[in-house]
C-alpha cells in the first residue's frame, strides 16, 4: 500500500451502533466511518460487531479504499481498543497495538465525551443516522453495503 500523502496525515474514526433490526440480521449493526482531516472523502462500512476482529477488518478495508495508511488515527475511547484511561494516560488493547505497529500508524484518543474533537466524523454519523439510514427498505447487510453508494 502507498503512504497517504501529507493531506492524510491524520484521520478521524467513529464507530456507532444502529439499533434498528434488519431482516435476518442479529445483532444490531454498527457503522465504521474513517475521514481524513483535510478531505471531504470518507470511508463507510457496516459491521455486525464492534469486536476487535471486525474493527481491524474495517481498518484494512479503509486503508485499501484510501490507498494507504495515515500516520495517526484519532478515536473516541471505544472499549474495544482502550483497556483503561486515567487522564492523559491510555492503555490500549495489546492486540490492537500490534495491529497499529504492523500497519505503521499511531492511535490517538480524544477526551471522553468531547465530540467536537472529531467534529468531521461526528457530522457524518449524524448524516447516516438522520438521512441515509431511515430511507428505503433493506434485505440484508450486502444490500445495505450496496445502497451506501
pLDDT digits (tens, 9 = 90+) for 109-148: 887 766 555 566 666 666 666 666 545 566 666 776 776 6
Check: CB of residue 95 under 8 Å from CB of residue 80: no
Q: Pairing mode, if any, of strands 72-75 and 10-18? A: parallel
> What per-residue confidence (pLDDT) applies to 23?
53
| Mean pLDDT, range 9-38, rounded to an integer | 68
> What per-residue confidence (pLDDT) applies to 84?
93
**CA quadruple 144, 130, 44, 100: dihedral, nearest 10:** -130
CA 66 to chain centre: 14
> What per-residue confidence (pLDDT) applies to 100?
95
Check: CB of residue 76 under 8 Å from CB of residue 18: no
C-alpha grid cell for residue 37? 482531516
How far apart CA 66 and CA 43 sit, in angstroms, is 8
How far apart CA 74 and CA 72 sit, in angstroms, is 7
% of the chain beyond a pLDDT of 70: 59
Q: What is the DSSP letter of 7?
A: G
Q: Is 117 helix (H, G, I), strand (E, B) or coil?
A: helix
How far apart CA 41 and CA 55 sit, in angstroms, is 20
List the Cα angle 94/60/30 in 5-degree steps.
85
How far apart CA 99 and CA 6 sit, in angstroms, is 22
Amino acid at each position: 500500500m502507498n503512504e497517504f500523502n501529507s493531506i492524510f496525515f491524520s484521520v478521524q474514526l467513529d464507530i456507532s451502533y444502529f439499533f434498528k433490526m434488519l431482516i435476518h440480521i442479529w445483532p444490531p449493526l454498527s457503522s465504521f466511518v474513517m475521514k481524513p482531516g483535510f478531505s471531504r472523502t470518507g470511508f463507510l462500512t457496516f459491521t455486525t460487531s464492534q469486536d476487535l476482529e471486525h474493527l481491524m477488518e474495517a481498518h484494512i478495508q479503509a486503508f485499501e479504499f484510501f490507498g494507504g495508511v495515515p500516520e495517526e488515527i484519532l478515536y473516541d475511547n471505544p472499549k474495544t481498543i482502550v483497556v483503561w484511561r486515567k487522564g492523559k494516560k491510555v492503555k490500549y488493547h495489546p492486540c490492537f497495538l500490534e495491529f497499529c505497529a504492523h500497519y505503521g500508524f499511531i492511535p490517538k484518543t480524544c477526551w471522553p465525551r468531547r465530540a467536537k474533537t472529531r467534529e468531521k466524523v461526528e457530522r457524518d454519523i449524524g448524516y447516516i443516522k438522520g438521512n441515509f439510514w431511515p430511507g428505503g427498505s433493506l434485505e440484508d447487510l450486502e444490500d445495505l453495503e450496496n445502497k451506501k453508494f
